Chains A and B, each alone.
Chain A
Amino acid sequence: MANAAPNGRYDIVISGASYAGLALARALSQALEGSARIALVDRRPVGPRGSAPDARAFALSAGSKRMLEILGVWGLVADAAQPVAAIEITDSSLDAGVRPVLLTYENAVEGGEPASYIVPAGPLNDALAEVVAGDGGIEIVAPEEIASFVGDAALDLTFAGGAAVKASLLIAADGRNSPLRGMAGIKSVGRSYPQTGIVTTVAHAKPHNGHAVQHFLPGGPFAILPLPGNRACITWTEEADEARRILALDDAAFLEEVDKRFGGKLGTLSLAGPRQSWPLELHLARSYIAPRFAVVGDAAHVVHPIAGQGLNLALRDAAALTEAITDAARLGLDLGSAQALERYERWRRFDAAMSTAAFDGLNVLFSNDLTLLRAARDVGLGLVNRSPMLKQLFVAEAAGITGDVPRLLRGEAV
């Protein structure tokens, strides 16, 4: 729905119209069948990101893809998405001539469905924004931001622009530095990594056949995520000082650094997109809820990008919160009731904490050059490689279809 000045009483206000906020607004609007008044607030206009493109690509799990299908989003990004047929894992040092593949996953869950898809960030943002804009149950309030909130039986919200409204529930999807999380008094625990994430897109001469590659290099993992055509998104983690040096290089020298890490398998490389970088950090909100308040996505947890799970975790948050709120609504409970929010927190917090710790551990395990450690992980991965059952379990876990899965991730309507 078109932009509106905020007014009156809302059932649900979502702050932050990035991936998690857009998906959550759409999921709630669908599940609550127009019976709830929903506002989506963002500091920036909501819509295609023409002037500030996001160079990233996401490895979306099969569960996330099923959810996007229900939301009516997948059809709009399917052409830009590359199914991942297999994942290769290697861990050689930079100067090693040969790069033995340690582990190859047949990246499919039961029934041959790909366990993951690489989806470029730009088309995904545009598809989510288009679906939300066409959803008459969502009022977009942008550019605007929430200045304060307080209340008990209902929240009194004030906006930076001066408007004041009431809301039953406020959801923070406002990113890793979530201002609302701070205003709710929720602290987070975490740490910075002495590493920088670098993202760019390359074109290569030979076809990738849908193979994603994760090179564990001493500075951090270097991932090659296949895109449609002979293109790939590079998601590359480097020790911070080295990253600064590389980012300052001109295109030709930058490409040379990429080429050195890429491995020669896909032929001649050329740059096919802008480069972006950001410092790496990990954090986890100490609580996911406060009275009439919940956090989702990066506002709740920032994981190491090593496994590409950040957006999958965010969509899982959105699916679980939608289900908890909808089940409460179907019992006639207040949408911001403690019962609904406590169920969401019990459901998601343990999962996210385990993921955060696991990805952190993987990073420590792989981002170093100790010979003994290298030998130990080679043996470990070699064992996994020879056990089809263990591999299948890893693939299913990464596909987001194990455990207590929210209905949307199973491809079912809430």
Chain B
Amino acid sequence: MIETLEPKSAKSNIDDAEVARFRAIAAEWWDPHGKFRPLHQIGPVRLEFIRDELIRHFGLKSGLKPFAGLRLLDIGCGGGLISEPLTRLGGSVTGIDPGAENVAIARAHAEPQGLAIDYRAVTAEDLVAAGEQFDAVVCLEVVEHVPDVGAFLKTCAALVRPGGLMVLSTINRTLKSYALAIVAAEYVLGWLPRGTHQWDRFVMPDEMARYLANAGMSAPRFSGMVYAPLRDEWKLTPDTDVNYLASSARPV
């Protein structure tokens, strides 16, 4: 169980082995047919959820630049797969990742496109210590790689300004997720390198809701993500058995 795992570092709540695993394949972040293809494929549907939740929560005008005027934080930004779209949608984005290689790749990719993104190789804890806060914090496919989810979400919540929004995505801990996210994705289809995920670190939606409540956040809104093989596309679905997204507001 997650609660029994000891954080390797009480200060940063980061698993060094996990960071090293992603660092090793960092150069492939932007290859849509490389090791990160699954992240490219779920990109549109994750962005759809973030966009629609932010528009709803903040009463934004939809269109090509809905996030104009918002200060956004992307925790675990990797190569910048989400930071770049959030910036194109008008947001003023800070992307953080503990892997310096990731941040270097993210910077190198954004710069020639003229995308001004504040990338930093720091931890969420560092930003809390610096007293920073954001209108919205997104933290995608991160909590399943973190040793102490409850403590980590408290840190994330501290980075959301009162009245702001947090958006998370992760994988449920069900038999179906074991079959699809580990056996199928890593071993049968080869979508992900073996060892990418450890099933017992997956977080169930009710656990997520409890952690968020403990962090002073509102009851989350959930949506599932499902792969439609015939269309080769991911879609939002009410079914949260495997991949799911959550949005949770910080009360004013």
Q: CB within 8 Å of B: which residues of A?
A: 9, 32-33, 35, 153-154, 166, 328-334, 337-339, 342-343, 346
Residue-wise interface mask of B (103-119) relative to A, using a CB-CB cutoff of 8 A (1 in contact, 0 not): 00000010011100000
B47/A331 in contact, CB under 8 A: yes
Q: Which residue of B lies closest to A33 (CB)?
A: B64
Determine how close the nearest CB of chain B comes to the CB of A403; give it in whole angstroms.
14
Instruction: Please measure, in the bound complex, the distance between the C-alpha atom of A107 and the C-alpha atom of B108, giving whole angstroms.
Output: 57
Q: Which 5 A-B residue pairings sit nearest by Cβ, starting from the closest? A: A332-B85, A338-B32, A332-B89, A332-B88, A331-B47
Contact partners of B86 in chain A: CB under 8 A: 332
| A334 close to B44 (CB less than 8 A) | no
B30–A330 CB distance below 8 A = no
Q: Give the CA-CA distance A166 to B112 in the complex, in Å.
A: 10
- Let me know if A331 and B48 touch, CB within 8 A: yes
**Are A346's CB and B113's CB within 8 A?**
no
| CB of B238 closer than 8 Å to a CB of A | no
Assess whether B172 is interfacial by the CB under 8 Å rule. no
Across the two chains, which residue of chain B brings its CB closest to A328? B44
Complex Cα gap A32–B64 (Å): 8
- Bound together, the chains give a CA A241 to CA B114 distance in angstroms of 59
Q: What number of residue pairs across chains A and B have CB atoms under 8 A from each other?
A: 56
Complex Cα gap A333–B64 (Å): 11
The verdict on B51 contacting chain A, using a C-beta distance below 8 Å, is yes
Given contacts A153-B109, A334-B84, contact A346 B44 (CB under 8 A): no
- List which B72-113 residues lie within 8 A (CB) of chain A: 84-89, 109, 112-113
Docked Cα-Cα span, A332 to B68, in Å, equals: 12
Report Cα–Cα, A338/B32, bound state, in Å: 7
Footprint of A on B, CB under 8 Å?
30, 32-33, 40-41, 43-44, 47-48, 51, 62-65, 84-89, 109, 112-114, 231-233
A31 to B114, CA, bound (A): 22
6 A–B contacts from the bound complex (CB under 8 Å): A9-B114, A153-B109, A328-B44, A330-B63, A331-B48, A332-B89
Q: In the complex, what distance in Å separates the CA atom of A9 from the CA atom of B64?
A: 19
Q: A110 to nearest B CB, angstroms?
A: 28
Docked complex Cα distance between A264 and B135 (Å): 76
Closest to B85 in A: A332
In the complex, residue of chain A having the shortest beta-carbon distance to the beta carbon of B65 = A35
Q: Tell me if A333 and B85 are in contact (CB < 8 A).
A: yes
CA distance A395 to B32 in the complex (A): 41
CA distance A337 to B81 in the complex (A): 11
Q: Are B109 and A331 in contact (CB under 8 A)?
A: no
Select the residue from B51, B64, B109, B112 with max chain A CB neighbours within 10 A.
B64
In the complex where A153-B113, A331-B51, A332-B88 touch, is A338 in contact with B40 (Cβ < 8 A)?
Answer: yes
Give the CA-CA distance A378 to B46 in the complex, in Å.
Answer: 55
Chain A residues within 8 Å of B40, by CB: 338-339
Sample of 10 more A-B contacts, CB < 8 Å, known A35-B64, A338-B40, A339-B41: A33-B63, A33-B64, A153-B113, A331-B47, A331-B48, A332-B84, A332-B87, A332-B89, A334-B88, A339-B43
Bound CA span A346–B232, Å: 9
- Report B-chain residues with C-beta under 8 Å of the C-beta of A166: 112
Q: Which residue of A lies closest to B64 (CB)?
A: A35
The answer to whether A330 touches B231 (Cβ under 8 A) is no
Which of the residues A154, A330, A346 comes within 8 Å of B64, measured between beta carbons? A330
A331 to B41, CA, bound (A): 13
How far is B51's CA from A379's CA once the two chains are assembled, in angstroms? 57
- Report the bound CA distance from A9 to B111 in whole Å: 13
* B47–A332 touching, CB < 8 Å: yes
Residue ID in chain A nearest B82 by CB atoms: A332
Q: Is the CB of A154 within 8 A of B85?
A: no
Chain A residues, CB < 8 A from B231: 346
Nearest A-chain residue to B233, judged by Cβ? A343
> In the complex, are the beta carbons of A154 and B44 less than 8 A apart?
no
Q: How far apart sit A339 and B37, CA to CA, in the bound complex (Å)?
A: 11
CB distance from A233 to the nearest CB of B (A): 40
Known: A153-B109, A346-B231, A346-B232. A331 touches B65 (CB 8 A): no
Closest to A36 in B: B64
Name the A residues within 8 Å of B87 (CB-CB). 332
A153: chain B residues at CB < 8 Å are: 30, 109, 112-113
**Is B44 touching A339 in the complex (CB atoms < 8 A)?**
yes
Which of A9, A166, A332, A334 neighbours the largest number of chain B CB atoms within 10 Å of its CB?
A: A332
Closest B residue to A337 using CB positions: B32
Distance in angstroms between the alpha carbons of A334 and B85 in the assembled complex: 7
CB distance from A234 to the nearest CB of B (A): 43
What's the Cα separation between A9 and B48 when bound, in Å? 27
Q: Cβ of A332: which chain B residues have Cβ within 8 Å of it?
A: 47, 51, 84-89
A333 partner, pick from B33, B43, B62, B232, beta carbons under 8 A: B43
Cβ distance B63 to chain A, nearest Cβ, rounded Å: 7
Distance to closest chain B CB from A291 (angstroms): 8
Contact residues in A for B43 (Cβ distance below 8 Å): 331, 333, 339
Distance (Å) between the CB of B89 and the closest chain A CB?
4
> Smallest Cβ distance from A165 to chain B, in angstroms?
13
**Closest Cβ–Cβ distance, residue A322 to chain B (whole Å):** 14
Distance in angstroms between the alpha carbons of A333 and B88 in the assembled complex: 7
Contacts of B64 in A (CB 8 A): 32-33, 35, 329-330
Bound state CA distance, A346 and B43, in angstroms? Answer: 18
Across-interface contacts of B65 in A (CB, < 8 A): 35
Which residues of chain A have C-beta atoms less than 8 A from B88's C-beta? 329, 332-334
Chain A contacts for B109, CB-based, 8 A: 153
Which single residue of chain B is at the shortest CB-CB distance from A341?
A: B32
B44 touches A331 (CB 8 A): yes
Chain A nearest Cβ from B143, distance in angstroms: 23
B37 → A minimal CB distance (Å)? 9
- The residue in B30, B44, B51 that gathers the most chain A C-beta atoms within 10 A of its C-beta is B44
